[in-house]
Amino acid sequence: MTRVARFTTSLWLLLLTDVGLTPAAGAATTLVFARGRITCDISYPGEFLPEAVGMTLPMAMNAALELIGPPATPARLSLRLLEPPSFYKRLKAMFRAEVFALQQGNEIALHPGSDPLKLAFRLGHELSHWLASQKNPARPPLWLDEGLAQLAGTTAAATCARTLKQTLSRPPPARLAQHLFALEELTRLTDYPQNAHRSAAFYWQTEELVRALRDKLGPEAFAAYLDLLSGPDAPAWDTPLRDRWYFSDWDMNWLAGQIQPEKQKP
């Protein structure tokens, strides 16, 4: 199970059990990414792969690959599309609007919903987690793992919006100002916040922190930073920034400002 679902695992598993979201006999498609490094086997109910999945999966994979890079050795992923529940009409409103996915090992079970932008975001998010687990010997710290996943999802959704000539709107969470984490607090977290508003702030702030770091370091240096923090003897999050990239106290204060919405540049 990916970190993103960990704090709601019981709820989702109960939902999956109750609504009977199981794969039906159908068809399968195989796609290859990263010059053959990644093979993705897609199984789905019905005769044809849903158009939205075929469109958004490459966008999401490219977004995750751009941030994390390909696995060191060839990897195989199974993407299993789920059938709607048998009592679909009772849950139609929810499932029409929402997308959800559950990852375990090399498999992602996905209910694609009907919103391609949300689908692109969720696929980018989950593929980021999967690639991080394939590429590095240990998972990155919680803030970095989730910030990468959020940024990959946002990038994929933005690409999808441009393709469809739609507008992507992702306003900050409600009551964000009252539930923000300080920078040191955010980077020390090892468990997910249990409060809904704190959880929303956590995801928003981790995305902003990862975006700010990648923009400041540049893609190549950020990739090296990610590798350092994903190793078995990873240093404290700020040690390589200060020792290798010469971050000053001013730089750290600047980073702290990037996760405070009122301090961000327009």
Burial (CB < 10 A; 0-12, 13-18, 19+), residue 47, is: exposed
Delimit the domains of the chain by residue range.
1-170, 177-266
CATH architecture of 1-170: 3-Layer(aba) Sandwich (3.40)
Could you list the beta-strand ranges (E) of the chain. 26-33, 38-45, 75-81, 100-104, 107-111
pTM: 0.86
Burial 150-175 (b: 16+ CB within 10 A, else e): bbbbbbbbbbbbeeeeeeeeeeebee
- Partners of 27 in the β-ladder: 44
CA pair distance 123, 21, nearest whole angstrom: 18
pLDDT by position in tens, the chain (length 266): 444 444 333 333 333 333 333 344 578 999 999 999 999 999 998 889 999 999 999 999 999 999 999 998 999 999 999 876 655 544 554 444 477 888 888 999 999 988 999 999 999 999 999 999 998 878 899 999 999 999 999 999 999 999 999 999 988 998 899 999 999 999 999 999 999 999 999 999 999 999 999 999 999 999 999 999 998 899 999 999 999 999 999 999 999 999 998 754 44
Residue closest to 113 by CA, chosen among 101, 126, 130: 101
Residue of 126, 97, 90 lying closest to 110 (CA atoms): 126
